Amino acid sequence: MRAADEFKKKHQLYIRYAYANLKDSDDAEVIVQDAYVLALEKEIDIFSEEGRRWLWKTLKYLVLKKNRKKRNEQEATERYTQEETGVSVEEYVTEEKMAVWDAGMDENMDMLYPGLSEDKNFQIVKKVYIDGYSIMDCAKEWDCTYEAAKKRVARARQAVRERIEKERKREEDS
């Protein structure tokens, strides 16, 4: 029973360490589990003094790796937004811009471009550029990678742009 109590105590310390650095309980749990898996693969005795040192060091590097990955994803999102809009994320998503979009805007959009607000591609574009969701949030919701979500948004933007252009040309011709 002593080994089990010792394991629970250490496990809680590992979880707290990971959570303190990641600020996400799910990520903390996954990182600790990854460290245990690595220890099993390398046949490390995590109950020995040397094994505990190895586990702490591995946990530290896994946390650093996860934070680096998060930071890179955030920077990529900010870079993408700035490239697409010409303004930084902070300038782009402001409370005033968020407050402007309401049901009345949807109605106006439908008057200009019939059925656009129900269009699947428009919903994707609206979610990112109007509602302020990040590509990473969308990737989690759609259960896909960041890159796949980024491509999906780009394709949706292109489809909406083409639909609007087609509608404008149709109106010019009439």
Pair 156, 119 in one domain: yes
- pLDDT tier, 173 (very low <50, low <70, confident <90, very high otherwise): confident
What's residue 48's pLDDT? 87
The reply to whether 78 falls in a domain is no
Pair 102, 168 in one domain: yes
Pair 62, 120 in one domain: no
Q: What is the CATH number of the domain that holds 166?
A: 1.10.10
- Whether pTM > 0.85 for this model: the answer is no
What's residue 18's pLDDT? 86
What's residue 164's pLDDT? 79
pLDDT tens column, 64-104: 898 888 888 888 777 776 666 665 655 555 544 555 544 45
pLDDT tens column, 119-168: 787 778 878 877 778 888 888 888 889 898 889 888 888 888 888 788 87
The reply to whether 52 falls in a domain is yes
Spell out the residues 6+ positions from residue 28 whose beta carbon is closer than 8 angstroms to its own: 15, 18, 19, 22
Pair 105, 135 in one domain: yes
Domain residues for the domain of 142 are 93-173
| Residues 96, 101, 102, 105, CA torsion sign | positive
Pair 158, 101 in one domain: yes
The reply to whether 87 falls in a domain is no
Pair 108, 52 in one domain: no
The rounded distance, in Å, linking the Cα atoms of 34 and 27 is 10
The reply to whether 10 falls in a domain is yes
The secondary structure of the chain in percent helix, strand, coil, rounded to multiples of 5, reads 85, 0, 15
The reply to whether 20 falls in a domain is yes
Q: Compare 119 and 113 and report the one with higher pLDDT.
A: 119
Pair 112, 167 in one domain: yes
Q: Compare 105 and 20 and report the one with higher pLDDT.
A: 20
- pLDDT tier, 106 (very low <50, low <70, confident <90, very high otherwise): low
Structurally, the chain folds into a number of domains equal to 2
Pair 103, 164 in one domain: yes
The reply to whether 86 falls in a domain is no
The reply to whether 77 falls in a domain is no
The reply to whether 83 falls in a domain is no
